[in-house]
Chain A
Amino acid sequence: MGLSDYLNTLTAQMRCKKARSLVAEEISAHILDQKEAFMAGGMDEDAALKESIRQMGDPVTVGMEMDRIHRPRPDWKFLIFIAVFSVIGLFLQYEMNQLSIDYTYVDYFPRHCVYTVVGLIVMAVLYFLDYTIVGKYALRFWGLLTVYFLWAGLFAPLRNGSHGYIQLTLYLYVPVFAGLLYRYRMQGWRGLCKCLLLFVFTALLGIRCTGLYNVTAFLSLTILIMITAAVHRGWFGVPIKRTIGLLWAAVCLAPILFICLGGLAAYQYDRLMAMISMFSGRGDTTFNYVAHAAQELLSAAKPLGNSGSSIAERLPYIFTDYIFTYVVSCYGYLAGAAVVLALLGGVARIFRLSSRLTNELGWMISFGCGCVFGIETLHYILTNFGILIFAQTYLPFFSYGLRASILTYSFSGLLLSIYRYKDVVGEVRKFPEFKTKVRVKVKLEVEKEEE
């Protein structure tokens, strides 16, 4: 039996076609290594190849073993997590709707149910879709999103003087940037510069089209963390410490320069001052009314049970921006802590699972989605405590709104797809042609062996 016959027989036992190339390449490399060792020992090429294949073992048995390992597997724990949080989210939205209907005069709950169903459909589609298309068509996806935001910036109706209502959609750039970083890896400085240019353009577009800063700021932070992670992992083959240092020095200097050169409007400057006054403890209670109201409601909470405060009367948009305050106020601070800890536990699990992924694209998408969920959860809690005063916050799985629902469930669908195909997708971490410490170490070891 020749090498190709052996590999064909072996891979034919594997039902998952995507995993076949992953296994075939490795087995083939092993047989060729073994053949070279036999030839070095004095065997002729044909005999060496035959003996190497014989020593490999029965191709059917090996193929069946590989079939058992390399097949799509749903991540049941994450699916259960999504189901539980969706149900809790629906329950809380129903309760908040009952509480605030006297003030808003709108029954939001039926709409929230429709948005959740739309989100679940998006999740199901992404779950069964091969997530590697994000890497394959990254530039096209980036172009589509950019056209959408340009269109929205020019033609979409304004609400409260801005397009702030579309800003959560900006987070869809996160998986797209994972794809772009993946696409331009191995291109050295050129690849890194392309990613940075696309990032700067995206950030400016985000501010220009939404008219608000907060999601653009957190999106920028997420993408910068992703670029840092890619550089740290050796994707671009540039000096790691120096590049990361330069990148973050530029990141810290940019907003200072922006403010010093008069980039902030007078009302934005006032907002910044209001935030600083909160930190310094000299907060003007009329200036930061909402933040102070939230703080008072939180401090009046019991360990368990309703504190009796009239939350719907005192806070606006509790079903989007103050769900945590609502939970603490109506169910006790232990319930609030449980919800936050469970959400942060979910984020920690996303990072833990990402670190196990051998597929580079899957790792970067999962890492980026984890960053968004983590940053937004922390931002939400800090806003509820009155520490940050950005308007329009988002709590994954809980916040009301079509875009919030689509964001939560599209990321969940992508994560589920990545974990489902983690033993299948045929690509592992590659190192480009440059001198990383590891490569130099390997080279030295080879040279030692040759000596």
Chain B
Amino acid sequence: MAVDKSLISGSTTLLILKLLSEKEMYGYEMIDTLAKRSENVFELKAGTLYPLLHTLVSQGHLTCRELDCSGKIRKYYRITKEGRRFLRQKTEEWNEYAGAVARVLSFGGNAYGTV
């Protein structure tokens, strides 16, 4: 199902931080994992991902290091303690927002349904 891009862009930071809270990853791996887990709903462009990753590193939410992986040098990103705190805060915000949207939608449905 095609999803409005503006819905995805607002939650990209949250999704990336969530992925990195599980294990450290390199850029391509993040895009691939996100696409697989969301059954291709979240097809994040690399041109969006890298500026976001670099911003999060600059803000101290992520750190990065280079690792030799089967002869290829890859830049791995890892979430910091500050990043985990930020993720918890963003998750709470998202849950509040998603709950509010769900309540409004279900309220509308019930109202019309009971008339």
Chain A interfacial positions (CB closer than 8 Å to B): 23, 26-27, 29-31, 33-34, 37, 55-58, 61-62, 65-66, 68-70, 356, 358, 422-423, 428-431, 433, 438-439, 442-443, 446
Point out the residues of chain A lying under 8 angstroms from B60, CB to CB. Answer: 356
Provide the bound-state CA to CA distance between A31 and B28, in Å.
9
Point out the residues of chain B lying under 8 angstroms from A429, CB to CB. Answer: 64-66
Provide the bound-state CA to CA distance between A76 and B114, in Å.
60
Q: Tell me whether B72 is interfacial, beta carbon within 8 Å.
A: yes
Q: A34-B46, A55-B45, A356-B63 are in contact. Are A62 and B51 (CB under 8 A)?
A: yes
Q: Tell me whether B67 is interfacial, beta carbon within 8 Å.
A: yes
Q: List 27 contacting pairs A-B, 8 Å CB cutoff, sorted by A.
A: A26-B50, A26-B75, A27-B46, A27-B50, A30-B27, A31-B46, A37-B32, A55-B46, A61-B47, A62-B47, A62-B51, A65-B51, A66-B51, A66-B54, A70-B54, A356-B60, A358-B57, A358-B65, A422-B58, A423-B54, A428-B64, A429-B64, A431-B65, A431-B68, A439-B67, A439-B68, A446-B70
A26 touches B27 (CB 8 A): yes
Point out the residues of chain A lying under 8 angstroms from B28, CB to CB. Answer: 30, 33-34, 37
Q: Which residue of A lies closest to B32 (CB)?
A: A37
Provide the bound-state CA to CA distance between A56 and B50, in Å.
10
Point out the residues of chain B lying under 8 angstroms from A439, CB to CB. Answer: 67-68
Interface of A is mostly: helix
Most buried by B among A65, A69, A430: A69
Beyond the given A358-B63, A438-B67, please list 13 additional residue pairs across the A-B interface where CB-CB is below 8 A. A23-B54, A27-B50, A30-B27, A33-B28, A57-B48, A69-B54, A69-B58, A423-B58, A428-B64, A428-B66, A429-B65, A442-B67, A442-B69
Per-position 1/0 for B63-87, Cβ under 8 A of A: 1111111101111000010000000
Provide the bound-state CA to CA distance between A69 and B56, in Å.
10
Q: Which residue of B lies closest to A27 (CB)?
A: B50
9 closest pairs, A vs B, by CB?
A57-B47, A429-B65, A65-B51, A33-B28, A62-B47, A356-B60, A430-B66, A69-B54, A57-B45
Q: Which of B47, B51, B69, B70 contacts A58 (CB 8 A)?
A: B47
Point out the residues of chain A lying under 8 angstroms from B47, CB to CB. Answer: 56-58, 61-62
B68 touches A433 (CB 8 A): yes
B64 touches A57 (CB 8 A): no
Most buried by B among A30, A57, A66: A30
Point out the residues of chain A lying under 8 angstroms from B40, CB to CB. Answer: none
Provide the bound-state CA to CA distance between A23 and B75, in Å.
11
A428 touches B46 (CB 8 A): no
Q: Tell me whether B55 is interfacial, beta carbon within 8 Å.
A: yes
The smallest C-beta distance from A68 to any residue of chain B, in angstroms, reads: 8
The smallest C-beta distance from B64 to any residue of chain A, in angstroms, reads: 5
Point out the residues of chain B lying under 8 angstroms from A431, CB to CB. Answer: 65-68
The smallest C-beta distance from B30 to any residue of chain A, in angstroms, reads: 10
The smallest C-beta distance from B25 to any residue of chain A, in angstroms, reads: 10
Q: A56-B47, A61-B47 are in contact. Are A29 and B75 (CB under 8 A)?
A: yes
Provide the bound-state CA to CA distance between A68 and B54, in Å.
10
Q: Which residue of B lies closest to A436 (CB)?
A: B67
Provide the bound-state CA to CA distance between A442 and B65, in Å.
13
Provide the bound-state CA to CA distance between A72 and B68, in Å.
29
Q: Which residue of A lies closest to B66 (CB)?
A: A430
B64 touches A30 (CB 8 A): no
The smallest C-beta distance from A432 to any residue of chain B, in angstroms, reads: 8
Q: A30-B27, A439-B68 are in contact. Are A57 and B46 (CB under 8 A)?
A: yes
The smallest C-beta distance from A230 to any residue of chain B, in angstroms, reads: 15
Provide the bound-state CA to CA distance between A431 and B64, in Å.
12
The smallest C-beta distance from B109 to any residue of chain A, in angstroms, reads: 38
A428 touches B55 (CB 8 A): no
Provide the bound-state CA to CA distance between A422 and B58, in Å.
8
Provide the bound-state CA to CA distance between A428 and B57, in Å.
12
Provide the bound-state CA to CA distance between A102 and B47, in Å.
70
